[in-house]
Amino acid sequence: MSAPLEFAATVVGGSPTTEQDDGFVGYVFGLAAREDGSEGCLLVQRADDPRPEEEPYCLVWGEQEGTTYGGVERAVVDDGGVTFELTTLNAAELGTPRQFRITFPAQHTDAVRWGLIRTLGVGVVT
């Protein structure tokens, strides 16, 4: 079963990662429709010290439906939603349209903005 292309997140959050537990030092931020990741899920993982040949972040869509490294041109966070704009290649790798939206309860807007800035970078998130 594949994840929906757009979904309403009820679970929003992130946490630091460690080499010992996760295999890299950085941060993971996620938006999910349900705690178990069903009905829609997007994880954004950032390595704080990637190798020079690696992208600093990756996106994982659904329950391993797709993964892509880099490629987010812009993430626009507004009150209760975020719209992602990806390159054509990265959207194809992820299995999504170039532009997609995830909604969430408006009280999580600041947490979503901060989590995406932490993982995607300040120049990508508006």
- Per residue in 114-126, pLDDT (tens digit) is 999 999 999 999 9
Percentage of residues in the chain having pLDDT higher than 90? 63
Full-model pTM: 0.88
Is residue 28's pLDDT more than 50? yes
pLDDT at 1: 41
Is residue 3's pLDDT more than 70? no
Average pLDDT over residues 9-38: 89
pLDDT at 5: 66
Is residue 2's pLDDT more than 70? no
Average pLDDT over residues 19-35: 90
pLDDT at 36: 78
Nearest Cα to Cα of residue 58 among 111, 115, 118, 120: 120
77 CA to centre of own chain = 12
pLDDT at 112: 95
What lies within 8 Å, CB to CB, of 5 at 6+ separation is 96, 97, 100
pLDDT at 114: 95
